[in-house]
Amino acid sequence: MSKLFEPISLGGLTLPNRIIIAPMCQYSSDEGKATSWHHAHLGQLSFSGAGLLILEATAVEAVGRISAQDLGLWDDETEAALKGLIDGLRENSNIPLGLQLGHAGRKASHAAPWKGGAQIPQSAGGWQTVAPSAIPFAEGTEAPAALTAERISELKKAYVDSVRRADRLGFDLLELHGAHGYLLHQFLSPLSNQRTDQYGGSLENRMRLLLEIFQEIRAAFPANKPIGVRISATDWAEGGWDLEQSIELAKALDKLGCSYIHVSSGGLSQHQKIAVGPNYQVPFADSIKQHVKMPVIAVGLITEPEQAEAIVGTGQADMIALARGILYNPRWPWHAAAKLGAKVYAPKQYWRSEPHSVKGLFLPE
């Protein structure tokens, strides 16, 4: 029996297997509203047979978008657009749906990757970014405005409001984005957080905002629905956030009833030096798993079914996440099930595609 294709429970939600589709920004929204691109993109991924589909980083306020084309959930219009999308997905697939809530902080106001990805200054149509401290992400870019105590209170409310909207939309799961150099990660790292109040300085203070927001959104979302957190385990930069601090954060989240932790890395510093290779982030997930009770997701250059099976089967992580790999091959879980002798859910319209060599591969949704 394949461990990768065993069910797993996250709070009150049971996933049919341990393959997670990680959030992937599409830079294709209209003033925060989902478009036909999202219907096409997520529609094909909803047929993949993965255990969970998490929608891209969704901004809790307009200034929190990475680009002007980011998905959002901050008002009635953005909620209505997402409702049309979610309703369409639900009509054709039973895949569990999650939403990642985020805020880009100082990494906001950028162009889409295919337009170069550079920061767009206010003079060229961008907007004033915010951060824990007025430290630019890169040399030659505009400095963010340091968040005041009043703005931090407004930010917390924005998260809670978005969570309530997400619940009305019927999402099965939420993920709090605390990774990849975005706002909550900026509070965690001493490279970007030089505050002298209760949100800066010591590790306890730097973790405070993420933990407070987690507690507030946990209280606003039904208790039977899981909320996880995505983190960068290390900044890959001297003097920055690292694995030891990540373990302390994970332990604190575990005590607060976090449903899972999704372990990535990097994204905060222009000076990061990443040793990239297959499974390069798995040791971080493995180390964190030794200190927490909640399930752990590993991600990063996991491309082969046997590789994913080994990670889960040896207990390095409880689940694996796919991002670029599943964009390249949206049927990755089908192929993995075929290789590992497992079964996978597929829509009835596609059952005729089952290869003769793997009869019995497909389960009815």
Could you tell me which residues are beta bridge partners of residue 173? Answer: 98
**pLDDT value of residue 20:** 98
C-alpha radius of gyration, the chain, whole number: 20
**pLDDT for 164:** 98
**Closest Cα partner for 105 from 178, 182, 158?**
182
End-to-end CA gap in the chain: 20
DSSP for 67-101? Answer: STT--B-SSHHHHHHHHHHHHHHHHH----EEEEE
46 burial (CB, 10 Å; 0-12 / 13-18 / 19+) is: buried
pLDDT of residue 364: 86
From 159, 182, 260, 345, active-site residue: 182
Q: How far apart are CA 166 and CA 147, in angstroms?
A: 25
So what's the pLDDT on residue 365? 79
Q: What letter represents residue 123's amino acid?
A: S
Q: pLDDT digits over 279-318, tens only?
A: 999 999 999 999 999 999 999 999 999 999 999 999 999 9
Active site residue 350: no
Q: Which of 5, 11, 184, 40 is nearest to 98 (CA)?
A: 11
Q: Which residues of the chain have pLDDT under 50?
A: none
